[in-house]
Amino acid sequence: MPLVAHSPLPSFERLNSQHSQEVLSLDQALKQDIRELHIGFLNMMPDAAFKVTELQFLRLVGSSNQIAQFYIHPCTIPDSSRSPEIQAYIKEHYTTFEALKEDGLDALIVTGANPIGADLRDEPFWEKLQEIINWSKANITSTLASCLSTHAIAKSLSRIQRKPLSKKRWGVYSHRVTQSEHPLLLDSNTRFDVPHSRNNDVSRAQLEVAGYKTLVYSEEGGVHLAVSPDQFRLVFLQGHPEYDRISLLKEYKREVQRFIAGEREIYPPHPENYFGKEAAKIVDYYQELVYAAMEQGNEIPPFPEAQIEPHLDNTWRDTGRAFFNNWLGLVYQLTDVDRKIPFPPEIDPNNPLGLNKK
């Protein structure tokens, strides 16, 4: 069932008009005798990716075919360094964590963030995120953490220390399902692609020693999907199923522009397994043009984004949709209707999915 446009959040209109995704008006939703799910969306992304990430996650939620209406409640952690434009956007369209606590939620999505240092405890979001996660453990059926928030929550709850990678893990990697019987992977392929983009890693060994279960793993990309010992209350993602086809291209372009501006010493490598033969030819020739122009002191030509884009493939969206469909379906099944308690009394909170423990 579709998202409900219960507020004037611009992403609702964009999904409806530009992405051909059904979004119900509030009047339409109230006329339907269908139970709703209320999902918090904690957006911690930097300004450049703030609205895009919001749209990407809402698209995944809205593409689920569960018999429910999805009310998305975006919030963020106050940050005075944000641009006036994003500050105004937040003021107009976002709510506060305190308001969400008062009203209650069924599930919570926590995005990644832009790291500023090696120690996560020094991040500006650290203290507030601890408060939010501690509240969600007791009051929300399931919390889904993405990328850096996975690292932060794993450190906070389980003393897992992320490790810096020798080089950025950046590209599209093939993954295999390690526990195909888990309901989060119902009807998923046993092997599928997922984009990654990060400089640090939490390993499979670290997670499993702490009691977490790895569900999807890649020899190249590492852990993509893991869950807490109870199998569902906490869901970790290190990959990015929400990414658009051009998300890695945008990141690559930004890194090229940083090189041109003198902000990085080495010209960026290709994101791994992302550029096909034709796209690679275009980006490699542009690199030659950049070097030649810099050598001669000439103006550098614009990045050929429009020429590259038609040669890119999205090989992860269907699997991402299937995963979100399963996650929201389980939230729907396991959440008490009045949302006052995370699990109905007859469900064992230590094994809510009734899985065989191994």
- Portions of the chain given CATH number 3.40.50.880: 3-243+314-334
Catalytic residues: 147, 240, 242
> Which of 307-313's residues contact partners 24+ apart within 8 Å by CB, and which partners?
307/282, 308/249, 308/275, 308/279, 308/282, 308/283, 309/245, 309/246, 309/249, 311/275, 311/276, 311/278, 311/279, 311/282, 312/245, 312/246, 312/249, 312/274, 312/275, 312/276, 312/279, 313/245, 313/276
Q: How many helices (H) and strands (E) does the chain have?
A: 12, 11
pLDDT tens figures, 93-104: 999 999 999 999
pLDDT grade for 224, boundaries at 50, 70 and 90 = very high
Determine the angle formed by the axes of helices 277-296 and 247-260, rounding to 10 degrees. Answer: 20
Query: Where does the chain have alpha helices with state H?
Result: 10-17, 26-30, 47-62, 84-93, 97-103, 126-139, 148-158, 204-209, 247-260, 277-296, 305-308, 317-334
Report percent pLDDT > 70 for the chain: 92
List beta partners, residue 200.
164
CA 43 to chain centre: 10
pLDDT tens figures, 296-312: 999 999 999 999 999 99
pLDDT grade for 345, boundaries at 50, 70 and 90 = very low
pLDDT at 354 over 70: no
- What is the predicted pLDDT for the residue at 265? 95
More confident residue, 189 or 23: 189
Query: Strands 222-227 and 23-25, how do they pair?
Result: unpaired
pLDDT tens figures, 151-203: 999 999 999 999 999 999 999 999 999 998 899 998 889 999 999 999 999 99
pLDDT grade for 352, boundaries at 50, 70 and 90 = low
pLDDT grade for 117, boundaries at 50, 70 and 90 = confident
Report percent pLDDT > 90 for the chain: 79
pLDDT tens figures, 40-76: 999 999 999 999 999 999 999 998 866 788 999 999 9
- What is the predicted pLDDT for the residue at 301? 96
pLDDT grade for 350, boundaries at 50, 70 and 90 = low
The answer regarding whether domain 3-243+314-334 maps to CATH 3.40.50.880 reads yes
